[in-house]
Chains A and B, each alone.
Chain A
């Protein structure tokens, strides 16, 4: 299990034990954490599972591919340097303790 903290726009947070193999998006959905829509079910096609990731150079995140990069340019809340689509980040043991921030809106 990896502990992922989802911080809501109002500052409250939900801490979820996510089973490795699930994406950060799926971890939120399974736990009923609101604020991630994932309308397409997780295929980097809709841009509604946008998150901001607390990270530094050592955070082992997968590289971003073109589709994700493109969609992050048209998300409902503005893109920042640490923007990602949560469906594109599989949870691993190495991500235990990761903190992600949910945007104001996904649509």
Chain B
């Protein structure tokens, strides 16, 4: 086959336990977002749009759904003869008894054989649970221009929040001189996005050595990057200024959905030159009933609204029955809000039924109400 200049590996093992009941059955990258997408559609579509042909997806927790989802490489257009999306699960080794990756670097190390079959010059490492649009080809150009050994994507965060992130301190010309994980007194506001480009030859050598090191936690942030800095390697920060969200909690997932209600939102999913691809569904277009009221909403195909929807995001197949009200809420695929029910500041999980006249949430509630189980309705 023709050589692949850059191969992408997506770390999709995140459990996302702070997303509570949303991630009891699916891994975090498979969580729904934005009306019709799953979070992992973003890195996968970014790869397809950046002309990356081969993507490995590294899964571990509850990954049956994610595995079958990702295996359909045609969804993201990665279906040419030499393209593909491959699900890479941990290799069970008889002498170890460990069935999970020990760290982010270990996940890559265990798949060196897979990467070697493509003989890439560069390796792109991504996280499967971030929402953003990014052209990795431009990042690779920067990597080459800087003659870097590794390039790390960073984004500016408010300095007062910088102590929550992994912070890259640079020499003012993009070269990383120091990496601090959650520093108490941050010297810079450039936070690592967990997106790395490595020159594969060097990384491969370092991973092989790291695997043999009993003191290593086999993690990029904790072991590989510090070691590279210690060896005074060329590590460069690539600054990304667009929309980026790590939806770690119910509130932040809700908020990221709400961001889409602003027609001028910086994520702009309506850009025909950078589409986000996802599972194709066979449904009707959205049906807005004769008595429906819609005031500011983000609604996808297969939705049926007979009641009223205000400032909300409705996913594929969601139904709002007559007299029901959905306010400042997110309805995931297949949710049914029965007659007379009122939802305010709620996030309703996939296929949940909210019964007649049920009231959930309130306008001034502090947090977002997660509705993960059917709620039986009262009578009129």
Q: Tell whether A and B belong to one assembly.
A: no
Where the two chains meet, the residues of B that have a C-beta atom closer than 8 Å to any C-beta of A are none
